[in-house]
Every structure is written in structure tokens, then in C-alpha cells.
């Protein structure tokens, strides 16, 4: 059996985190190295390594992550806008190989993102 990712350890309460949301499909917590005033990671409880590992059965799960992002953005007072990001693979900037959605807000975002 493969080793648990950092995010799976957080979901399993083996590592502490500032959790802002949780339901039967995902967990959301504040990033420990934020790049914006609001930087929350929304992580499915199902450990899918990257976007490239998604299967048809994950369609509802991925849609759910975005609906959770919308709810959290509202709860966080991000009425002026926010950004969602999913990094994929090394060149995409992915550091933890457990798919996750970044919710960024609280400042003006720039384009291109980097």
C-alpha cells in the first residue's frame, strides 16, 4: 500500500490544520504558505494524485469541489472576486500529489499568473 499524502493525513486528523469546511466528499483548510490573504485548499477525501488520474466516475466529485469553493468564497467575504487553481504535475507547479483546488482571494489577481 502506498504512503498517505500530507493531505490524506490532514483529512485523517493525523496532522493538524485550520479546517474551514468538511463534508462527506472533501475537506478544506487554510494553506500554511498562503500567496493571498485568503488561500484555502479544497481537497477530495478520495486520494486522486493528479488531474490526469481522474476517471469518469470523478465528474461529480470535481464539480462538488467548485461548488464548495463558491460557498467558502461567500463565507470568506470574497464578494469582489477570487481565483481557483488546480496545478497538475511538476511543470504545473503541483507539490502534493493528491488533487486539490486552491481558492485565492482578498487581493487583486494578475494575469498571467506565473
What's residue 114's pLDDT? Answer: 67
Give domain status of residue 78, yes or no. Answer: yes
In a domain, 87, yes or no: yes
Residue 113 forms part of a structural domain: no
Average pLDDT for 50-67: 97
Assigned domain for 57 exists: yes
Active site residues: 100
Residue 110 placed within a domain = no
In a domain? residue 15: yes
Q: Say how far apart CA 39 and CA 59 lie, in whole Å.
A: 24
Write down the pLDDT at residue 83.
Answer: 97
53 is a domain residue: yes
- 1 within some domain: no
Please report where in the chains the cell 500529489 appears, as a residue. Answer: 97
Q: Pseudo-torsion of CA 100, 104, 109, 110, nearest 10°?
A: -20
The residue segments making up the domain with residue 97 are: 6-105
| Whole-structure pTM value | 0.94
Identify the CATH number of the domain in which residue 66 sits: 3.30.428.10
What pLDDT band is residue 2 in, cutting at 50, 70 and 90?
A: low
Given a cut of 80, is residue 87 above it in pLDDT? yes
Q: What is the pLDDT of residues 35-54, one digit of tens each?
A: 999 999 999 999 999 999 99
Does 1 score more than 60 pLDDT? no
Amino acid at each position: 500500500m502506498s504512503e498517505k499524502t500530507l493531505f490524506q493525513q490532514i483529512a485523517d486528523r493525523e496532522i493538524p490544520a485550520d479546517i474551514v469546511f468538511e463534508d462527506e466528499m472533501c475537506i478544506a483548510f487554510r494553506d500554511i504558505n498562503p500567496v493571498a490573504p485568503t488561500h484555502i485548499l479544497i481537497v477530495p477525501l478520495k486520494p486522486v494524485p493528479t488531474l490526469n488520474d481522474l476517471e469518469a466516475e470523478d465528474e461529480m466529485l470535481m464539480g462538488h469541489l467548485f461548488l464548495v469553493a463558491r460557498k467558502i468564497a461567500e463565507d470568506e467575504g470574497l464578494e469582489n472576486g477570487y481565483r481557483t487553481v488546480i496545478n497538475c504535475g511538476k511543470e504545473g507547479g503541483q507539490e502534493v500529489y493528491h488533487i486539490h483546488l486552491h481558492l485565492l482571494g482578498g487581493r487583486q489577481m494578475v494575469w498571467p499568473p506565473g
